[in-house]
A and B are shown apart, each in its own frame.
Chain A
Amino acid sequence: MIIVVSLLIILMLISAIAALIFKDLISAVIAACMVSLIASILFYFLHAPDVAMAEASIGAALVTVIFIIAIRRTKRHEE
């Protein structure tokens, strides 16, 4: 159990660092979506199913959609 949680947290931190270094904003948004998804799995392990559902449906799905619409209306690449 503790090994699974450790691996998930390492993967989450790697995704956050990927969101930091990607120049393509859509890739960065997908990496941030990955952070939210792994956080929702961790919420489930911490016995918080309500928060896990909210994070998976709002934090991982709707926030990503809103970011991608905004990037489509502005510029895709960071210079």
Chain B
Amino acid sequence: MSFLHNYIYYIGAFGLIFIGLFIILVKHNLIKVIIGISILETGVNLFLIAVGYISKGTAPIFSKPGINANQMVDPVPQALVLTAIVIGVAVLAMALSLAIRLYKHYGTLDLRKIKEQRW
């Protein structure tokens, strides 16, 4: 039980990273690859937030008087992840617009049939 208590968030984050990398490496469809990038990003964010957690802590907001600053979780990973999520949506939209252009030019999204993208 203590193993589960210590490592359950890490297991979830590593599972998401593993599945995201697997989708990126194996799938041929371009939009599927972009879905994999999105899942990978969620896993990395979950890992960063889990690193900053403190047992029996509170959120880093002084909402009531008398909250102890020593019991708050680490605010630095939260600020980092907040910016990472917003950059992630911009990069995803950019990638999808490139996918739309490729589909209009080649008529397919299959990476095996697009000559310049084949691997």
A binds B: yes
| A positions within 8 Å CB-CB of B | 2, 5-6, 9, 12-13, 16-17, 19-20, 25, 28-29, 32, 35-36, 39, 42-43, 46-51, 54-55, 58-59, 62-63, 66-67, 70-71, 73-75, 78-79
Q: Which bracket fits the contact residues of B? A: 35 or more
A19-B23, A20-B23 known; A67+B16 contact, CB < 8 A: no
Q: Assess whether A47 is in contact with B53, with CB atoms less than 8 Å apart.
A: yes
Q: Which residues of B contact A66 (CB under 8 A)?
A: 89, 92-93, 96
Per a CB cutoff under 8 Å, which of A17, A20, A51 touches B82? A51
Interface pair A19/B35, CB less than 8 Å apart: yes
Residues in A neighbouring B52, C-beta threshold 8 A: 46, 48
- For the A-B complex, the count of residue pairs with Cβ-Cβ distances under 8 Å equals 135
Contacts of B29 in A (CB 8 A): 25, 78
- Cross-interface CB contact of A51 among B28, B45, B89, B92, cutoff 8 Å: B45
Chain B 88-119, CB within 8 Å of chain A: the 1/0 string? Answer: 11001100110110010000111000000000
Q: Are B89 and A63 in contact (CB under 8 A)?
A: yes
Residue from B78, B88, B110 having most chain A Cβ neighbours under 10 A: B78
